[in-house]
Amino acid sequence: MATYEYVCSGCGPYDVALPMGGATPYRDCPECGGPARRIFSAPSLSRVGRALAEALDREERSRDAPEVVRDVH
Ligand SMILES: [Zn+2]
């Protein structure tokens, strides 16, 4: 889980705990149900999360590549 920050124009900022990579640009505000916009202001956490997501993405791609090579042989 990672903590994401959103801000509602009526209620102000609030945090939501979501699975890594599960954040959407907008969420319904838990207070008033209005649209709340995501803020990208958690520097260390979001940087680690992004690096981790990119690393996992690369790993998935490199795992696929050997399969293709093996099919050719
Ligand atoms: Zn609100």
Which helix (DSSP H) or strand (DSSP E) does residue 51 occupy? helix 43-72
- Tokens found for residue 49: 């999360």
Ligand 1 centroid to residue 17 C-alpha, Å: 17
Q: Hey, where are the domains in the chain?
A: 2-72
Between CA 8 and CA 29 the distance in angstroms is 6
Ligand 1 centroid to residue 38 C-alpha, Å: 13
Between CA 8 and CA 12 the distance in angstroms is 5
- What's the confidence (pLDDT) of residue 22? 85
CB–CB of 2/15 below 8 Å? no
* 54-67 per-position pLDDT tens digit: 777 777 777 666 65
* 5-20 per-position pLDDT tens digit: 999 999 999 999 999 8
Ligand 1 centroid to residue 14 C-alpha, Å: 9
